[in-house]
Amino acid sequence: MANVHKHKLRGIRGIDDETWDAFDEATKAGESDRSASVRAWVDYYLGRTDELPPRAPAGPWSTPPQT
């Protein structure tokens, strides 16, 4: 079957499109992807690892959005 993933899709709410797009750019610049970065932070938050996930390299996403 096409488009069948082995992992259940998880949604994240409350993140505006500008922030989500900046997160996508930052993870790609850091040679990762959004899913891997979110998993790393969840594992760290739950205490499954003591290794702090890497931060994104500096870029245009480093500046807070204007409100």
For the chain, what are the domain ranges? 18-52
Q: What is the pLDDT of residues 3-53, one digit of tens each?
A: 787 888 888 899 999 999 999 999 999 889 999 999 999 999 999 999 999
Q: What is the pTM of this model?
A: 0.76
pLDDT tens, residue by residue, 41-58? 999 999 999 999 998 888
What pLDDT does 4 receive? Answer: 80
Model pLDDT, residue 1: 58
Burial class (CB in 10 A: 0-12, 13-18, 19+), 26: buried
- CA–CA distance from 16 to each of 3, 12, 25, 65 (Å)? 26, 10, 15, 11
How far is it, in rounded angstroms, from Cα 38 to Cα 1?
A: 27
